Amino acid sequence: MDGNGRWAQQRGLSRLKGHEQGAESVRAVLRAVRQAGVRYLTLYAFSTENWIRPKDEVEGLMNLLSIFIDRHGKELLENKIRLRVMGQFDRLPRTVQKKLAQLMEKSAENYEYTLILALSYGSRLEIADAAKAIARKTARGELDPETVTEETVANHLYLPDVPDPELMIRTSGELRLSNFLLWQLSYAELYVTDVFWPDFREKEFFQALEVFGRRGRRYGGVVTK
């Protein structure tokens, strides 16, 4: 969800104001997701690299996350949206951990839609953690290393039951993956827009879906449509 800081800078506002406006885009996209019938939405909310940002900005982001849960947690439950988190959960402030855990527990039976927040997340770390888990199993004799396959690795990622993304939307014109779902995005369609995240609303989301719908997805084979 890129462009919060630049959106604010263009308006002479603090970066935190850009993040606040970005939170409203989250609500807008969640509405669009339900309307379009998209079952899984993963938002890259905070990366492992984001910890190096100024302390006041990091604290402000964590506070915004806490406020968002307080204000809109009930809305998620009412709209049958299950909340899940991927990343270094234990690095988050304890108050945020508690609120997230409570909302995840309350929404656990909501299977119509799933919102995944990538928090203190880095894809290289995720893959490394999967490799360590596999290595521990082989060391204990629970797994023969000769039987390790792509499926084995996938089953040791943070959320192995979640299907691979079909579409990745990158806002603010950024043309890189930024350590996001490197394994899972292998065959995802990429959509890049110059729109900053705080201005990304339902209209922009449906435009991305329209472009996605025109893509011929080959998976290494031949286009069938």
Give the number of other CB atoms < 10 A from CB of residue 22.
25
Local confidence band at 66 (pLDDT 50, 70, 90 cut-offs): very high
Q: What dotted CATH number matches 4-208?
A: 3.40.1180.10
Give the number of other CB atoms < 10 A from CB of residue 88.
18
Mind listing the pLDDT tens digit for each residue in 120-151? 999 999 999 999 999 999 999 999 999 999 99
8 A C-beta contact, residue 2 and residue 25: no
| Catalytic site residue from 50, 63, 79, 179 | 50
Measured CA distances, 188 to 36, 166, 216, 219 (Å) = 18, 5, 12, 9
Q: Specify whether 161 is catalytic.
A: no
pTM assigned to the model: 0.94
- The pLDDT value given to residue 224: 53
- Region 82-94: mean pLDDT is 97
Q: Where are the domains of the chain?
A: 4-208
Q: Specify whether 2 is catalytic.
A: yes
